[in-house]
Amino acid sequence: MMRTHTWIATTGGPHLLIADEELQHWRGIDRWHDYGNPADQSDYGRACRVTTWLGSIACHQRSAVVLSGDAGDMAWYSNGLGDRGFLVQWLGVDNERLIEPALRVPQLRELLESSNAERLEFETGASGAMWLIDASDRGYDLRSEHEVLALRPGSYLARAAYYHSTGLAIVVREICWISPLSNEVR
């Protein structure tokens, strides 16, 4: 089956969403020791300790968003306006064409708006560009597949939920713009 979106894989660990301005500071597996070692302060080690679908860890002057909890390729489904979209994680999909219609069903909206949905607020850098990468990669030397999400600069709310229907099992992380950066000129 031919895929229509860019699907980002990992080497087994989490995905990472990181501001363009912070990317060069992400060290990935540099100084990494092993999974679950609380003494391991490598960027990758800290990311691997996040077990939820949405987590945040410090990176230089901001935080990086850790997308963990399940193994599976991830793709960005943008609304085309730069202020919202969905990061979809492929767990079990019979056909990629099932995904876009699923993103519009009321059942998914209810899941994302329920009290059980994970939530996390984060800020982009001044450029708005956010990189979707394998957390094991070094930001200054990306070797794995990656994608740049072109977002409006500002604050965002991410909500995550598991969704399944016939032929489809995905983790959906909705990304919604909530306000401009506090230092943005209007």
Looking at residues 3-28, what average pLDDT do you find? 91
Tell me: the pLDDT tens digits for 89-116? Answer: 999 999 999 999 999 999 999 999 999 9
Question: In DSSP terms, which residues pair with 141 in a beta bridge?
Answer: 138
| Number of C-beta neighbours around residue 100 at 10 A | 13
pLDDT at 157: 97
| Residue range 166-179: mean pLDDT, rounded | 95
Task: Write out the DSSP string of 84-135.
Answer: EEEEEEEEEES-GGGHHHHTT-HHHHHHHHSTTSEEEEEE--TT-EEEEEET
State mean pLDDT over 19-29. 90
| Residue 38 pLDDT exceeds 90 | no
| Spans of all domains in the chain | 15-179
For the segment 41-60, what is each residue's pLDDT rounded down to a tens digit?
788 888 988 999 999 999 98
